[in-house]
C-alpha cells in the first residue's frame, strides 16, 4: 500500500503513477530516470523561449544516461553520465559543433526526490573537473535541478538548470528539454566506462 507521504503530494506528481516513477515504499519520483535521455531544446539564458536542436549533425549528440544504484527500499540515487559531442576544432557548442570527433564526458552522483534532482560531480577516469568562471559554483558542489513534464508529450521533461558548463549551462537559469531514447545512442560515446558504469544494454 502506498504511504501517506505519496498521497499528500501535489496533484502534478500523480503523473509518476502513470510514468512508473513511484514505488511501494513511499519514495516518489516524477519519472523513472534509468536509461538514455537526448537533449531536444535549450534556453541558455532563461528567457522562456526554447531553441530546438535541428542540425542533423547535433541531433542526439548531447546525452544523459542515468543508472539508479539504490535499492528498492532506499532513497532514489545513482550515477548520471553526460556526453557532449565535440568536433576537430574542440568545439562542443550546442549551436556550432560539427560533432565529428567523439565526446567529452562528465560524471555525477545524483539523488532524486519528487520533482527535484541533486547532481554532485566527480572526476571521470583520466579527467579533471571544470575550471569555474565568474560566479559559477565550485566543482563538486551539489546542484539542484527542477524537473517538469512536457504536457501531452510522453517521456519528455524540462531540467532547470544543469551543472555549470554542462551543455553551456550557467547553473542558475538555463533550461533544457530532454526525451528518453534508446540506450544504443549512448553506447557510441564511451562515457559509461569513464564514469565507472557498464555499457548500456
Per-residue pLDDT for the chain (201 aa), expressed as one digit of tens each? 223 233 334 444 544 444 455 554 578 999 999 999 999 999 999 999 999 999 999 999 999 999 999 998 899 999 999 999 999 999 999 999 999 999 999 999 999 999 999 999 999 887 789 889 888 888 889 999 999 999 999 999 999 999 999 999 999 999 999 999 999 999 999 999 999 999 887
Note the pLDDT of residue 13.
52
Note the pLDDT of residue 2.
27
Question: What CA dihedral angle connects 181, 111, 152 and 42, to 10 degrees?
Answer: -70
> Cα(49)–Cα(83) distance, rounded to whole angstroms?
24
Record the cell numbers describing residue 123, joined without a space.
572526476
Domain 32-128+135-194 fold is Lipocalin (2.40.128)
> Cα(201)–Cα(198) distance, rounded to whole angstroms?
9
> Cα(54)–Cα(69) distance, rounded to whole angstroms?
34
Report the predicted TM-score, pTM, of the whole model to 2 decimal places.
Answer: 0.86
- Sorted by sequence, the CB contacts under 8 Å of residue 111 that are 6+ apart come out as 75, 76, 77, 117, 118
Amino acid at each position: 500500500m502506498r504511504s501517506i507521504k505519496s498521497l499528500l503530494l501535489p496533484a502534478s506528481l500523480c503523473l509518476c503513477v502513470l510514468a512508473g516513477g513511484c514505488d511501494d515504499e513511499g519514495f516518489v519520483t516524477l519519472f523513472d530516470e534509468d536509461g538514455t535521455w537526448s537533449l531536444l531544446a535549450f534556453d541558455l539564458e532563461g528567457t522562456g523561449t526554447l531553441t530546438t536542436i535541428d542540425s542533423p549533425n547535433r541531433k542526439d549528440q548531447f546525452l544523459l544516461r542515468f543508472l539508479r544504484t539504490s535499492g528498492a527500499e532506499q532513497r532514489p540515487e545513482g550515477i548520471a553520465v553526460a556526453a557532449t559531442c565535440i568536433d576537430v576544432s574542440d568545439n562542443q557548442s550546442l549551436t556550432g559543433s560539427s560533432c565529428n570527433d567523439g565526446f567529452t564526458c562528465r560524471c555525477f552522483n545524483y539523488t532524486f526526490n519528487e520533482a527535484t534532482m541533486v547532481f554532485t560531480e566527480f572526476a571521470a577516469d583520466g579527467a579533471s573537473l571544470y575550471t569555474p568562471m565568474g560566479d559559477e559554483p565550485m566543482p563538486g558542489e551539489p546542484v539542484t535541478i527542477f524537473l517538469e513534464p512536457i504536457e501531452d508529450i510522453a517521456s519528455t521533461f524540462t531540467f532547470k538548470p544543469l551543472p555549470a558548463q554542462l551543455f553551456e549551462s550557467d547553473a542558475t537559469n538555463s533550461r533544457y528539454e530532454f526525451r528518453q531514447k534508446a540506450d544504443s545512442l549512448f553506447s557510441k560515446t564511451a562515457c559509461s566506462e569513464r564514469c565507472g558504469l557498464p555499457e548500456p544494454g
